Amino acid sequence: MFPFVISLYSLCPESSMRILAFPLVLCFISFIVSKLLLTTKLPPEARKLQRNNNQMLSDQPWKRYQAWSRTLGPIFSMRPTIHLGSHFGWLAWILPAPDPTIILDGLNTITDLFQKQGENFSDRPRWPMAELLGRTENVGFTYYGGRLKRARALLQSEFGSHKRSQWAPSIEQAVQQLVDYWKVPEQCSGDEARRCLRRTLESLMFRLTYGFEPSADVLELIKEVNNQTGAAFQPGRWAVNSFPLLSHIPYWVPGAEFQRWAMTAKALFMKMVREPYEKTKVNHLDNSDISCFVVNHLRDMQWNGSVNSEPDERLIMSTAGSIFTAGVDTTIAAVETILVLLSRHPHDQQFALEEIVKTLSDERLTLEPTTGFIRLAEVENLPYVMSIIKEALRFNPPVPVLTHSPLKDSVYKGWQIPRGSWVLANIWSLFHTSSLYPSPNRFHPKRHYSSDALDPLKFAFGMGRRVCPGIHLAMAFTTLLVAQTIMTFSIEPVSLLADSAGHEEKDLSEIKFTTGLTSHPKVFSCKLVPRVAALAT
């Protein structure tokens, strides 16, 4: 290209034409030079390693990133793989290259950028397909700024630890209900047990948000919206994610199927956000027995004399619509991981059971363990149960990679991190670093019990100004459920050759986990056997 422009310039017949062309050539040269300089300053690129693997589409990319960071160092960059499709392939030649993805590994690098420089590294990367689908109204995808801060304040004022007495009864009720489901022999293992967990969490999160039970239709709608979100975020699938200019193409242009798909998906998303909100507003606002996210915030607005103020209502509505999607899958992933791991570690169950028995020491345990229910206030001091939860979150974090983006250009240890680039913190790799956690592939809760190992809770729920606002609620539910399950059941491994999704797990010593925004055990290969029944046989 460069020799081509120079020879064109020398071919200009007249000196007046050459004078006119000179600034153009100068611009071109400075563009190339600045590009070259920028490229050399980006963290080392995984280009060669990338060429050998289509890493974005591969299984558990966080494992591959860890291997690459051993070659390239704790900060490296990648160019996204793009599929432009048959209609827009030629655009790759004229559009500027998409922003790089920068991967962070290691305690210092991750905490330096996401925590110490949290003010800068708290944005989300531009995701044009998500914008077309309206998803940037969802808190998890909202760009950093005043709107995000107000949405997070609404969440914290409802789900913070100071509101524990408000949500504790719902959590206790949900855990008791789930344990009762699991006591039914047909629902105590594999896919059925998993379905009970999902049903309980969906109902809990929905009631905490809207104050009523979700219907089967609403759950179906949420599922469809989640599938579409997953499709919108599929790496490499949409050219518009790499070349945002494409989002201005009108939907009727041939080849712009993505615009038509996005329009339909956005309408479905808005229906999911709007309908339950309106129902709560119309039916439950005057019912003093109901306390939930939407009702409590609308009542606050009434108190402040600003009811029906459209911008505030829209914020309450869209924030409410974010709770279910952010809270259900992550908590399910955590609980499933804990139970599957515990099923392979009976000694840890026994140790935790002894701790629970010692702490409660009342008739619920001595008379008939399976009928006793634990209260949330009673699980606050169960260090071994807490160590089990921390170790499971370390072993397979529900969100293995955190995705942030800097608000402004920055330089870290001489490497350039351009504004708007995708910056991924490899939390899975941090948790599998042998200098921090010796024998990281071993499930070993005692490392958190008897030593001062780095606390996984500081990372598993995110970092800086995007840290999970549901952490107290999620930890309360998980701790109570794990303690109650250990008290009520013996958690045993089962050899499920294939679950309904066709995942196989023949070797019980190796647990496989899924790839995605959240990571679950592929197979729920465990069974909950009531303790009294277990003793009787």
- Identify the residue among 125, 400, 456, 470 touching ligand HEM (CB under 6 A): 470
Between 315 and 334, how does the x/- string for binding to ligand HEM read (CB under 6 A)? -------xx--xx--xx--x
- Which of 43, 134, 369, 398 contacts ligand HEM by CB under 6 A? 398
CB 449 within 8 A of CB 383: yes
Beta carbon of residue 457, minimum distance to ligand HEM (angstroms, whole number): 9
Q: Which is nearer to ligand HEM, 82 or 486 (CB)?
A: 486
- Which of helix, strand or coil describes residue 210? helix
Q: Which stretch binds ligand HEM (CB under 6 A): 81-89, 282-290, 461-469, 502-510?
A: 461-469
Evaluate the CA torsion angle 147, 151, 153, 154 in order and state its sign.
Answer: positive
> Shortest distance, CB of residue 151 to ligand HEM, whole angstroms?
8
Half-sphere exposure (CA, 13 Å, Cβ side) for 103?
A: 32
Question: What is the distance, to the nearest Å, from the Cα of residue 170 to the centroid of all Cα atoms in its chain?
Answer: 24
Crossing angle of helices 15-41 and 2-11, rounded to 10°:
170
Q: Which amino acid is at 266?
A: K
Compute the distance between CA of residue 200 and CA of residue 294 in angstroms, rounded to an integer: 20
Known binder of ligand: residue 468? Answer: yes
Q: CB of 68: closest distance to ligand HEM in angstroms?
A: 22
Q: Is 43 in the site for ligand HEM (CB under 6 A)?
A: no
462 binds ligand HEM (CB under 6 A): yes
Of residues 197, 382, 430, 468, which one binds ligand HEM by CB under 6 A?
468
CA dist list (Å): 85 to 89, 90, 250 = 6, 10, 17
Contact between 406 and ligand HEM per CB under 6 A: no
Q: Which residue in the set 100, 134, 140, 211 belongs to the binding site for ligand HEM (CB under 6 A)? A: 140
Question: Measured in whole angstroms, how far is the alpha carbon of residue 124 from the centre of its chain?
Answer: 13
> Cβ of residue 312: shortest distance to ligand HEM, in angstroms?
18
Our CB check for ligand HEM shows the closer of 155 and 482 to be: 155
Cα 165 from Cα 172, distance rounded (Å): 11
Q: Is 113 exposed, middle or buried (0-12, 13-18, 19+ CB in 10 A)?
A: buried
356 binding ligand HEM? (CB under 6 A): no
Cα angle for residues 57, 63, 64 (degrees, 5° grid): 60
Q: Cβ distance 108 to 130 under 8 Å?
A: no
Q: Does 139 bind ligand HEM (CB under 6 A)?
A: yes
Q: Closest approach of Cβ 467 to ligand HEM, in Å?
A: 6
Residue in the structure block whose two tokens are 């402004």:
408
Residues forming the site for ligand HEM (CB under 6 A): 139-140, 152, 155, 159, 322-323, 326-327, 330-331, 334, 398-399, 402, 460-463, 466-470, 473-474, 478
> Which residues are documented as binding site for heme?
468
